Chains A and B, each alone.
Chain A
Amino acid sequence: MGDESVPFLLDQGTTKTYQIPIGHLDYKFIEKCTDVKHLEKILRVLRSGEEGCYPELTLFCEKRIEHLDPRSRALRKDKPAATASDFTAEEWETINSDLMLYFPLVYKGNIVCLFISRGALLCTIIELIFFITLRFDVEKECSRIDEGCEESSSKARFFSRPSLPIIEKNIDTTGMTKKEKIFIATREKEKGNEAFATGDYVEAVTYYTRSISVIPTAAAYNNRAQAEIKLQDWESALQDCEKVLDMEPGNVKALMRRATVHNQLQNYQTAIEDLNKVLCVEPENAIAKVKINDLNMTRKRLYAAVFHSKGGGSKAEERETQKQKESTESGLKKGTSQKEPQKHLSDHGGEVNGYLHSGQKSESPEAEISRSHVAGSQSAGDGSSTSLPPAAAKLKGEGNELFKSGQFGEAVLKYSEAIEYVTGEQSPDDLSILYSNRAACYLKEGNCSDCIHDCNRALELQPFSLKPLLRRAMANESMERYRQAYIDYKTVLQIDSSIQAANDSANRITKTLIDQDGPNWRQKLPPIPVVPVAAQLHRWDGGDFISENKSKSTTDEKFKTLKNEGNDFVKKGKYEEAVNKYSECMKLNTEECTIYTNRALCYLKLYKYEEAKQDCDHVLQIEDSNIKAFYRRALAYKGLQVRKKNMAAGGHKKKRKKITIQEVTESDEQEERQFATSEDVVTDHVTSKEAVQTSVPLETSEKLHISEPSNAYDFGQIINAVNTNKDKAACADLLTITDPKKLPVLLSNKLEGEVFLIFIQSLEYYVVGKDPGLVYQHLFYLSKAERFKVVLALLSKSERKQVQQLFDLLSENQTNQYSLEDLESLKKVYEL
């Protein structure tokens, strides 16, 4: 903005107040400005009208400020009081009638007050509210209050901690009318609520107690119970809940609270009863449902534990059976009674999400039963797990848990046991799943041959199951048996063409195979099995189709969370974990380039240059101008010490810089926020690397054209890079493409000894042999550059020698582009 706005300023001047450039009173400026303080000033100028009246722009500016800082004081405007037009007719009616309804009562009381009867002290006829309003002798009343307080303090039921202020627990209500009592009871309860809201539970209990001492209301008891729960005073809370339920038997809050208390007191049965009562009143109460389930679990577990201790080890199996039942039971309850988001527990939860559409699922073998199973047998879902013998199911469950927690070795053992159990029984489905799960463990362990073995078995039992196929493919791929892997991936794709990971892998392998086997690679492939239509069609089965949709809708969210998790890991420097997260993301969505670039960055950090390069390659296939990918690939190349590929030349540099900045503002914020810093750090290396690459002969098909540096800034950048690396070849390249005549301009005032020297050296080593004419030209124009004399004067003897050598070479290779006389005179300029 700086340079361009100067003439603008001169043209139009500034505002009278604040001296804001007139140019800032502009939609474009306001839209881009992020400085709230400045915008507020602009708004004040606009509102004042001293620079003219722009209602639209003012509004626009307000909106912009609101967007940036919704609580900005500048947005506060004088507003008239609300009128009927600000409300719906109904609301307006309520507001007015509310008042009418409230006051007649009070009003009646007031009329009565006009007939004040004197003197009647300590009367108990307070109930005659409307006709006799008592009036006390002030002194007597006060003394009575004092007495009452002493009395009440002795009655105090609750102890305050000594550090806490001592507040009376009871209020003496003698002589109060019912209305006064209501007023005071309400007020004390409000004080309790306020204390509760600020977390002063002891104080809250005190004020509820005071309220109750005036009028015992269900609400006050109920609130006190809640405060007591917070203080973990279970007995008192229980009593209070019971008081409430005496007054209002169906009070849901009290029931819930009593259930909580019972739970804490380990009266699980009573707690469940209370929750059931809640469900009678509010059948849809989600919290109650969840709590019941939890309680059932706890209770059963407890029961089982007792049982176990009685019956000894022999009963263990029975206990497991029970556990199994219970979990399915609860699962069923959840499934039927409500559609609540639930954690995927051991069994069929994974079913809903299609494999590989949910990254997490693909990790866990429990999702196993998913599509393959649907494809294989009609009895999908719940049936499958129940058909397992309980012991095997338990083993499998344990295996799944172990797998989830990353203990693959142990998981293998569990699965193996389960397999032994099931073998011989007529349940090929289950066996297949177990094998497949075990295969997953092997795959994770890197035991590819066993993995393939298990997959083979699983596939014998259940041909064309997705998961074993995929796992076998992965195992084959890791063992570099690309052809087999390719076949498997292709088979998978026949069954379900939407599995992105398979698609990607197949493409990847295709390339490798082309490299390996040449254009006729296909001929070397074993035949790809044809998937029977039946297996393919199952994908479109009604149920599955629904689950497909479901999974899609959740995919985006999962993707986001995974990505965020990955980003978080990067922030913390945990690159391995980040890589895992990103990899999961990719399973959900392969289109998203940022994931790949992010992962590439992690790989770079982990010094896994090859992987980083692959990720960048991938991105560049999708988006051939992705700057980050270029950057990171350059870094990867540097890491690999491979100097054969070439990205952009110096000419692109300025552009590139600009784009990076745009990225910061435009692209995905989350990513930017964290990468902005790392990017900065890397930039130096990148530039140097790129500069180096300019020197490399363009040989690959991917090469980009190097355009010569268009201005001094570009040139300076490249020179800096070249200089830090002392890369004479790159420098020579740069000089080759640079028009000598422009040299003084490009160098501007940046000529330094080091730069001068590297010029000389690169000209000497790389250019003079090929094109002495160019060298002469460069030397000639170099001498015209600013600071040339200074640099020359500061050269050391050996450095002078180098210059001398170059001139010697020039005279040896003299061409018709310059004469010896020219050379001699130039030598004089160089003070040789």
Chain B
Amino acid sequence: NKMYCEVIKAPWSSNSGRAVVCNNWLFAVSSVCSSFCESKFNFKKCKELCLSFIQDAMLQKQWKRAAEFLTFYVESLEKDFSREPVGASEIIWRIGSEILRHHPDSSVKEFNTFIEPMKTLSVKRYLKVCLEHAFYLLHNGLIDEAYQNLSLAESWRFGEQTVIQDKELKLIQAYLGLLDYYKWSKQKNILLEHGKYLSVEQEMHSCFRKAAVNLKEIIKIPGVWDQFVKCYVDMLEFYGDHNEARQVLNEYAYNPKFPANPNAHVYLYQFLKRHGESKKSLISVLKILHDIVPSHELMIDFNTMLQKSKKRKRRRLGLEVIFTALDYAGCKENVKAWSCLARQMKQIKHLAWIKQEWNSRKDWWPAFHFSHYLAKKNWQENESLSYEKALVGGCVLSENHQQFGKKVKIVTSLAAFFEMLPKPSGVSG
């Protein structure tokens, strides 16, 4: 659920180094020189060395050892690291959190005890630490505690820092919105199960109002807010505000300021489908999805829709869609995809279309889909897949293209199909 990923450079020069990824956070460690000369090891170098021991231990999941070395590292806090891009307090916060997340003897109580001083150590980082703390609590299923923490953080004010940390504040509010939605959703279930209770309804409505305000705010900011959008739309649909919901989803999918996000189109498509929108609007949404993620599983539905269309253009598009989907490894073993293609190929009257599509693929599809090895494997593992593939393969692989002129006969004999496959050197089928 992390909305950001930071790359932080270590305070020392990273002219040579390993990079360690730790909980979305990357830091580079320069290999500390190995020398017997003690005078080379001043305070700073000793702490660098200590840090490298900590990181080694963490990479090997030796949490006790990491904790041990951390005890020797923490005195760095007393040294002013203000010139460094990443100071001791940040390092200690992140490493300490990581150790406490994984250490067998750790507990939520331990974590809470640890995190409080971390918040105060740096005013500039206050909200960020609060946010991470809330994530930890959520991860451990402590929703109420997380909510309390986030509320507290939301009310924090510290002069211009509040302005500087605006992003974190918005995130905090967004998560509060999400948790309000969660509460709302629980109330909703009670309502659906037990019927109307005034108190429940009122509470539900107040949750909705709080959630709506925060969620609406955050999805205004260009970004990837899938979960937030879904929750917001869910609430809007429940209260019947379809217009608002549609507007939100449209914004999310089509606003050019927002990063290209296939999910946005999926959500929009699902919404439109739910509300019985016209084929035209559905197709236009899926078309965009096809452009962004040609291998998406919805492409199969798309093809099915297009196949049935009366319009030539759409049927043509359907063929293109399904071929493109099968270009990707994701659909290789998708029986439905192959059966769609097979079905369409049987129905198609315009052989030129198939030739067009096959033209750019004839060099590599045989090895990609129709190798001897794959054929055997498919046959052993999944007969229906094998069957559908054989149908398609039979069409495209046949030497005599004249056959296309007639109605393509179903190749019932798989042996014949096998005959068409490029033989591996030496071994016969």
Q: Do A and B come from one complex?
A: no
A interface, CB within 8 angstroms of B: none
